[in-house]
């Protein structure tokens, strides 16, 4: 005849079950502390700059102050429980066909870590070939950003990452060079022509004052960092925090 299990044994077994279901490793507070400390500006991890054209530049570009780049800086990282807020400044200078312009976008992204899918957190493959009219090609100077960008997505692709932002633009150093050297069709001239044609404040040519943008709810986001080594550590810490906050896999 079997004896009933003593109460203290049942309690011990339940305790073991609870412990086995917890996520091993640093606590959520310790994980956030690491993020707080390592994202401080003096640690130089919080910024990312990509030059689509390899340097040094040709003499003409140097003489005319042409300097294409895209940069991102995490200016502030904060948290309330599992809710994260990131203040990010993005700058596009002399990019694409908009030589002479610099665009600023300041975003505030807010999301709950439980809404992020742990398996979606990864390092972006920046040198993956993309389709072009002439066939698959690698992006220009992709090695410059390889390993530095962390990607993450929401569970079941739900739009749970809320973003509010402000945008502005002005002349880049090349834009001022054009105006100063009276280059035909410089930005001041094109802005004046646009206004004369009733296209007042055309952002492609005229300086744009700080303007609030329409809020967005996103299903994914990226964060850029200064080195691949730090990006890898941050991705690991972010995934750990997501798991501690109850983030789960998508249904499919």
| Residues 78-87: contacts with CB under 8 Å, at least 24 apart | 79/32, 82/28, 82/112, 82/113, 82/114, 82/241, 82/244, 82/245, 82/246, 83/110, 83/111, 83/112, 83/113, 84/109, 84/110, 84/111, 84/112, 84/113, 85/109, 85/110, 86/110, 86/223
The pLDDT of residue 6 is 54
- The overall longest dimension of the chain from CA atoms, in Å, is 103
The pLDDT of residue 166 is 98
Q: What's the predicted TM-score (pTM) here?
A: 0.86
The pLDDT of residue 120 is 98
Q: What is the mean pLDDT of each run of 10 residues along the chain (252 residues)?
A: 49 42 85 98 97 95 97 97 98 91 97 98 95 90 96 98 97 96 89 78 81 97 98 98 97 95
Instruction: Count Cβ atoms below 10 Å from residue 152 Cβ, excluding itself.
Output: 23
For the chain, the C-alpha Rg in angstroms (whole number) is 24
* Residue 155 to residue 37: CA distance in whole angstroms: 28
Beta-carbon contacts of 47 under 8 Å, excluding residues fewer than 6 positions away, are 71, 72, 73, 74, 224, 225, 226
The pLDDT of residue 249 is 97
The pLDDT of residue 96 is 83
Which residue from 133, 211, 131, 218 is spatially nearest to 170, judged by alpha carbons? 211
């Amino acid at each position: 005849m079997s004896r009933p299990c003593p109460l203290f044994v049942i309690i011990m077994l339940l305790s073991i079950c609870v412990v086995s279901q917890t996520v091993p490793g640093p606590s959520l507070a310790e994980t956030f502390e690491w993020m707080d400390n390592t994202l401080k500006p003096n640690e130089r991890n919080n910024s990312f700059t990509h030059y689509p054209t390899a340097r040094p530049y040709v003499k003409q570009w140097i003489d005319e102050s042409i300097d294409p780049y895209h940069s991102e800086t995490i200016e502030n990282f904060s948290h309330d429980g599992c809710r994260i807020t990131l203040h990010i400044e993005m700058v596009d200078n002399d990019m694409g066909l908009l030589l002479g312009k610099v665009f600023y976008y300041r975003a505030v992204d807010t999301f709950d870590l439980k809404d992020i899918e742990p398996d979606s957190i990864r390092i972006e493959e920046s040198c993956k070939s993309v389709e072009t009219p002439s066939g698959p090609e690698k992006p220009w100077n992709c090695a410059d950003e390889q390993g530095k960008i962390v990607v993450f997505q929401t569970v079941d692709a739900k739009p749970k990452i809320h973003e509010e932002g402000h945008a502005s633009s002005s002349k880049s150093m090349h834009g001022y060079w054009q105006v100063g050297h009276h280059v035909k069709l410089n930005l001041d001239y094109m802005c004046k022509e646009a206004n004369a044609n009733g296209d007042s404040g055309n952002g492609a040519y005229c300086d744009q004052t700080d303007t609030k943008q329409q809020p967005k709810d996103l299903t994914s986001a990226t964060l850029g960092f200064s080195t691949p080594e730090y990006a890898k550590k941050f991705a690991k810490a972010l995934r750990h925090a997501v798991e501690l906050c109850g983030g789960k896999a998508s249904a499919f």
